[in-house]
Amino acid sequence: MIVSSVLEVRRRLDSIRREGKSIALVPTMGALHAGHARLISSAREQSDCVVVSIFVNPLQFGPNEDYQRYPRPMEKDVELCNALGVELIFAPEVGDMYSGPQLSFVEVPRLTQNLCGAFRPGHFRGVATVVLKLFNIIQPGSAFFGEKDYQQLCVIRRMVQDFNLALTIVPVPTFREPDGLALSSRNVYLNPDQRAIAPVLFRALNLAKELVDAGERNSEKVKAEPLRLLQSASGVRVEYFEIVDDEVQPVATISGPVRIASAIWIGKTRLIDNVPAR
Protein backbone atom coordinates (compact mmCIF):
# COMPACT_ATOMS: atom_id res chain seq x y z
CA MET A 1 0.00 0.00 0.00
CA ILE A 2 1.34 3.44 -0.98
CA VAL A 3 0.41 6.52 1.03
CA SER A 4 1.61 10.07 0.35
CA SER A 5 -0.44 12.07 2.85
CA VAL A 6 0.96 12.65 6.35
CA LEU A 7 -2.53 12.56 7.84
CA GLU A 8 -3.39 9.32 6.04
CA VAL A 9 -0.21 7.49 7.05
CA ARG A 10 -0.79 8.51 10.67
CA ARG A 11 -4.39 7.29 10.51
CA ARG A 12 -3.40 3.91 9.13
CA LEU A 13 -0.55 3.41 11.60
CA ASP A 14 -2.73 4.41 14.57
CA SER A 15 -5.04 1.54 13.60
CA ILE A 16 -2.10 -0.87 13.50
CA ARG A 17 -0.86 0.35 16.89
CA ARG A 18 -4.27 -0.22 18.45
CA GLU A 19 -3.90 -3.87 17.43
CA GLY A 20 -0.74 -4.02 19.56
CA LYS A 21 1.56 -4.52 16.58
CA SER A 22 5.15 -3.29 16.46
CA ILE A 23 6.16 -0.88 13.70
CA ALA A 24 9.57 -0.62 12.06
CA LEU A 25 10.71 2.13 9.70
CA VAL A 26 13.23 1.84 6.88
CA PRO A 27 13.92 5.40 5.67
CA THR A 28 15.14 5.58 2.05
CA MET A 29 15.42 7.95 -0.88
CA GLY A 30 14.26 5.23 -3.23
CA ALA A 31 16.27 3.68 -6.07
CA LEU A 32 16.15 0.56 -3.91
CA HIS A 33 18.78 -2.17 -4.28
CA ALA A 34 19.89 -5.32 -2.47
CA GLY A 35 21.30 -3.25 0.38
CA HIS A 36 17.88 -1.76 1.01
CA ALA A 37 16.40 -5.25 0.69
CA ARG A 38 18.65 -6.36 3.55
CA LEU A 39 17.40 -3.45 5.68
CA ILE A 40 13.79 -4.34 4.89
CA SER A 41 14.35 -8.04 5.57
CA SER A 42 15.99 -7.23 8.91
CA ALA A 43 13.02 -5.05 9.83
CA ARG A 44 10.64 -7.79 8.67
CA GLU A 45 12.28 -10.29 11.02
CA GLN A 46 12.00 -8.01 14.04
CA SER A 47 8.60 -6.34 13.72
CA ASP A 48 4.97 -6.89 12.81
CA CYS A 49 4.60 -3.98 10.40
CA VAL A 50 7.32 -2.60 8.11
CA VAL A 51 7.05 0.94 6.76
CA VAL A 52 9.43 2.00 3.98
CA SER A 53 9.63 5.73 3.34
CA ILE A 54 10.66 6.84 -0.15
CA PHE A 55 11.51 10.51 -0.27
CA VAL A 56 14.31 12.33 -2.08
CA ASN A 57 14.94 15.01 0.51
CA PRO A 58 15.92 18.38 -1.00
CA LEU A 59 17.29 19.66 2.33
CA GLN A 60 20.28 17.32 2.23
CA PHE A 61 21.46 18.25 -1.25
CA GLY A 62 23.84 21.14 -1.88
CA PRO A 63 23.25 23.65 -4.71
CA ASN A 64 25.64 21.83 -7.08
CA GLU A 65 24.68 18.27 -6.15
CA ASP A 66 22.52 15.70 -7.92
CA TYR A 67 19.04 16.37 -6.49
CA GLN A 68 17.38 16.78 -9.89
CA ARG A 69 19.00 13.74 -11.48
CA TYR A 70 18.86 11.45 -8.43
CA PRO A 71 17.26 8.18 -9.67
CA ARG A 72 13.55 7.82 -8.91
CA PRO A 73 12.40 4.40 -10.26
CA MET A 74 9.22 4.29 -8.17
CA GLU A 75 7.61 1.38 -10.02
CA LYS A 76 10.62 -0.89 -9.40
CA ASP A 77 10.84 0.29 -5.80
CA VAL A 78 7.22 -0.65 -5.19
CA GLU A 79 7.78 -4.08 -6.76
CA LEU A 80 10.70 -4.75 -4.42
CA CYS A 81 8.76 -3.62 -1.36
CA ASN A 82 5.79 -5.79 -2.31
CA ALA A 83 8.04 -8.80 -2.86
CA LEU A 84 9.48 -8.36 0.64
CA GLY A 85 6.10 -8.04 2.31
CA VAL A 86 6.25 -4.36 3.21
CA GLU A 87 2.90 -3.33 4.70
CA LEU A 88 3.09 0.37 3.90
CA ILE A 89 5.15 2.63 1.62
CA PHE A 90 5.18 6.25 2.66
CA ALA A 91 6.02 8.25 -0.47
CA PRO A 92 5.26 11.91 0.18
CA GLU A 93 5.75 14.79 -2.22
CA VAL A 94 7.98 17.66 -1.16
CA GLY A 95 4.89 19.70 -0.30
CA ASP A 96 3.69 16.96 2.05
CA MET A 97 6.94 17.03 4.04
CA TYR A 98 7.58 20.77 3.82
CA SER A 99 4.31 22.65 3.69
CA GLY A 100 6.23 25.95 3.79
CA PRO A 101 9.79 27.17 4.17
CA GLN A 102 11.55 25.06 6.81
CA LEU A 103 12.58 27.33 9.68
CA SER A 104 13.48 24.66 12.24
CA PHE A 105 16.45 22.34 11.82
CA VAL A 106 18.34 19.64 13.71
CA GLU A 107 22.08 20.19 14.16
CA VAL A 108 24.55 17.65 15.56
CA PRO A 109 27.74 19.74 15.27
CA ARG A 110 30.54 17.60 16.73
CA LEU A 111 29.60 14.49 14.78
CA THR A 112 29.23 16.35 11.47
CA GLN A 113 32.39 18.46 11.30
CA ASN A 114 34.59 15.76 9.75
CA LEU A 115 34.38 13.20 6.91
CA CYS A 116 31.40 13.96 4.63
CA GLY A 117 30.32 16.85 6.83
CA ALA A 118 33.48 18.78 5.97
CA PHE A 119 32.77 18.52 2.24
CA ARG A 120 28.97 18.72 2.18
CA PRO A 121 28.01 21.68 4.38
CA GLY A 122 24.41 21.47 5.50
CA HIS A 123 24.01 17.86 4.37
CA PHE A 124 23.64 16.29 7.80
CA ARG A 125 21.42 19.13 8.99
CA GLY A 126 19.08 18.15 6.17
CA VAL A 127 19.39 14.44 6.98
CA ALA A 128 18.77 14.83 10.70
CA THR A 129 15.85 17.20 10.11
CA VAL A 130 14.01 14.94 7.67
CA VAL A 131 14.66 11.81 9.75
CA LEU A 132 13.25 13.50 12.85
CA LYS A 133 10.19 14.49 10.80
CA LEU A 134 9.80 10.87 9.66
CA PHE A 135 10.15 9.61 13.22
CA ASN A 136 7.45 12.05 14.36
CA ILE A 137 5.12 11.08 11.51
CA ILE A 138 5.58 7.29 11.65
CA GLN A 139 6.38 6.91 15.37
CA PRO A 140 8.14 3.57 14.87
CA GLY A 141 9.45 1.38 17.65
CA SER A 142 12.60 0.77 15.62
CA ALA A 143 14.34 2.20 12.56
CA PHE A 144 16.90 0.46 10.37
CA PHE A 145 19.99 2.14 8.87
CA GLY A 146 22.89 0.75 6.87
CA GLU A 147 26.45 0.93 8.16
CA LYS A 148 27.68 2.08 4.74
CA ASP A 149 26.53 5.56 5.73
CA TYR A 150 28.47 5.37 8.99
CA GLN A 151 28.50 9.08 9.78
CA GLN A 152 24.77 9.30 9.13
CA LEU A 153 24.21 6.37 11.48
CA CYS A 154 26.23 8.11 14.21
CA VAL A 155 24.30 11.36 13.73
CA ILE A 156 20.91 9.65 13.92
CA ARG A 157 21.88 7.63 16.98
CA ARG A 158 23.02 10.78 18.78
CA MET A 159 19.88 12.68 17.79
CA VAL A 160 17.73 9.89 19.22
CA GLN A 161 19.78 9.91 22.42
CA ASP A 162 19.79 13.70 22.84
CA PHE A 163 16.06 14.10 22.20
CA ASN A 164 15.06 11.04 24.29
CA LEU A 165 13.17 9.57 21.34
CA ALA A 166 11.30 6.37 22.13
CA LEU A 167 12.72 4.11 19.43
CA THR A 168 15.66 1.82 18.77
CA ILE A 169 18.13 2.45 15.95
CA VAL A 170 19.19 -0.85 14.38
CA PRO A 171 22.41 -0.83 12.31
CA VAL A 172 22.64 -3.28 9.40
CA PRO A 173 25.99 -4.34 7.87
CA THR A 174 26.96 -2.99 4.46
CA PHE A 175 25.81 -5.09 1.52
CA ARG A 176 28.52 -5.56 -1.13
CA GLU A 177 28.92 -6.78 -4.66
CA PRO A 178 31.14 -9.90 -5.04
CA ASP A 179 34.11 -7.63 -5.83
CA GLY A 180 33.59 -5.63 -2.63
CA LEU A 181 31.90 -2.50 -3.96
CA ALA A 182 29.33 -1.27 -1.47
CA LEU A 183 25.87 -1.04 -2.98
CA SER A 184 24.67 2.51 -3.50
CA SER A 185 21.91 4.09 -5.54
CA ARG A 186 24.59 6.30 -7.12
CA ASN A 187 26.47 3.30 -8.54
CA VAL A 188 24.21 3.57 -11.59
CA TYR A 189 26.14 6.72 -12.54
CA LEU A 190 29.32 4.67 -13.17
CA ASN A 191 30.11 3.67 -16.73
CA PRO A 192 31.60 0.17 -17.28
CA ASP A 193 35.23 1.36 -17.07
CA GLN A 194 34.54 3.32 -13.90
CA ARG A 195 32.63 0.40 -12.38
CA ALA A 196 35.70 -1.80 -12.94
CA ILE A 197 37.84 0.69 -11.02
CA ALA A 198 35.41 1.32 -8.14
CA PRO A 199 36.33 -1.72 -5.96
CA VAL A 200 39.72 -0.08 -5.30
CA LEU A 201 37.99 1.84 -2.49
CA PHE A 202 37.15 -1.33 -0.56
CA ARG A 203 40.63 -2.72 -1.23
CA ALA A 204 42.20 0.41 0.23
CA LEU A 205 39.99 0.27 3.32
CA ASN A 206 40.81 -3.39 3.86
CA LEU A 207 44.51 -2.69 3.47
CA ALA A 208 44.26 -0.12 6.26
CA LYS A 209 42.26 -2.54 8.40
CA GLU A 210 44.91 -5.23 7.94
CA LEU A 211 47.60 -2.82 9.14
CA VAL A 212 45.58 -1.91 12.23
CA ASP A 213 44.77 -5.55 12.95
CA ALA A 214 48.46 -6.37 12.60
CA GLY A 215 49.29 -3.90 15.38
CA GLU A 216 50.06 -0.58 13.70
CA ARG A 217 48.82 2.22 15.95
CA ASN A 218 50.01 5.33 14.12
CA SER A 219 47.14 6.57 11.96
CA GLU A 220 49.36 8.37 9.46
CA LYS A 221 51.33 5.18 8.85
CA VAL A 222 48.11 3.21 8.48
CA LYS A 223 46.79 5.67 5.88
CA ALA A 224 49.95 6.02 3.79
CA GLU A 225 49.83 2.81 1.75
CA PRO A 226 46.04 2.80 1.14
CA LEU A 227 46.28 6.42 -0.05
CA ARG A 228 49.00 5.47 -2.50
CA LEU A 229 46.77 2.69 -3.81
CA LEU A 230 43.85 5.06 -4.35
CA GLN A 231 45.96 7.82 -5.87
CA SER A 232 47.49 5.39 -8.34
CA ALA A 233 44.07 4.22 -9.61
CA SER A 234 43.07 5.70 -12.95
CA GLY A 235 40.49 8.49 -12.70
CA VAL A 236 40.22 8.40 -8.91
CA ARG A 237 40.28 11.56 -6.80
CA VAL A 238 40.47 11.09 -3.04
CA GLU A 239 38.24 13.40 -1.04
CA TYR A 240 39.20 12.00 2.35
CA PHE A 241 40.66 8.88 3.94
CA GLU A 242 40.37 9.00 7.72
CA ILE A 243 40.47 6.91 10.87
CA VAL A 244 37.87 8.04 13.40
CA ASP A 245 36.41 7.08 16.75
CA ASP A 246 32.75 6.48 17.56
CA GLU A 247 32.11 10.24 17.67
CA VAL A 248 33.54 10.62 14.17
CA GLN A 249 36.67 12.35 15.49
CA PRO A 250 40.01 11.63 13.76
CA VAL A 251 42.49 9.76 15.93
CA ALA A 252 46.26 10.17 15.68
CA THR A 253 47.00 7.08 17.77
CA ILE A 254 44.74 4.03 17.61
CA SER A 255 43.99 2.83 21.13
CA GLY A 256 40.56 1.24 20.72
CA PRO A 257 37.91 0.40 18.15
CA VAL A 258 37.95 2.73 15.14
CA ARG A 259 36.22 3.19 11.83
CA ILE A 260 38.27 3.61 8.66
CA ALA A 261 36.24 5.75 6.27
CA SER A 262 36.82 7.22 2.84
CA ALA A 263 35.15 9.15 0.05
CA ILE A 264 36.45 9.18 -3.51
CA TRP A 265 35.36 10.56 -6.83
CA ILE A 266 35.45 8.53 -10.02
CA GLY A 267 34.58 10.94 -12.77
CA LYS A 268 31.46 12.76 -11.57
CA THR A 269 30.41 10.00 -9.15
CA ARG A 270 31.12 10.22 -5.45
CA LEU A 271 31.51 6.93 -3.56
CA ILE A 272 31.77 6.45 0.21
CA ASP A 273 32.59 3.38 2.25
CA ASN A 274 33.99 2.34 5.62
CA VAL A 275 35.15 -0.66 7.63
CA PRO A 276 35.58 -1.20 11.37
CA ALA A 277 38.97 -2.10 12.81
CA ARG A 278 40.12 -3.57 16.15
**Does residue 98 sit within a domain?**
yes
**Does residue 179 sit within a domain?**
no
Question: Has 123 been annotated as catalytic?
Answer: no
Same domain, 269 and 159: no
Give residue 269's pLDDT: 97
* CA dihedral over 263, 266, 269, 271, signed as positive or negative: negative
Provide the domain limits for residue 141: 2-172
Same domain, 101 and 206: no
Q: With contact defined as beta carbons under 8 Å apart, do 211 and 221 qualify?
A: yes
Give residue 122's pLDDT: 96
**Does residue 64 sit within a domain?**
yes
Give residue 55's pLDDT: 98
- What does the alpha-carbon distance between residue 18 and residue 12 come to, in Å, rounded to a whole number? 10
Q: pLDDT in tens for each of the 278 residues of the chain?
A: 999 999 999 999 999 999 999 999 999 999 999 999 999 999 999 999 999 999 999 999 999 899 999 999 999 999 999 999 999 999 999 999 999 999 999 999 999 999 999 999 999 999 999 999 999 999 999 999 999 999 999 999 999 999 999 999 999 999 999 999 999 999 999 999 999 999 999 999 999 999 999 999 999 999 999 999 999 999 999 999 999 999 999 999 999 999 999 999 999 999 999 999 98
Same domain, 133 and 257: no
- Its pTM stands at 0.96
Same domain, 167 and 195: no
Give residue 278's pLDDT: 85
Same domain, 168 and 204: no
**Does residue 180 sit within a domain?**
no
- How many structural domains comprise the chain? 2
Point out the catalytic residue in the list 36, 120, 123, 158: 36
Same domain, 113 and 237: no
Same domain, 167 and 269: no
**Does residue 145 sit within a domain?**
yes
Same domain, 56 and 151: yes
**Does residue 141 sit within a domain?**
yes
**Does residue 108 sit within a domain?**
yes
Same domain, 166 and 217: no
Give residue 64's pLDDT: 87
**Does residue 177 sit within a domain?**
no
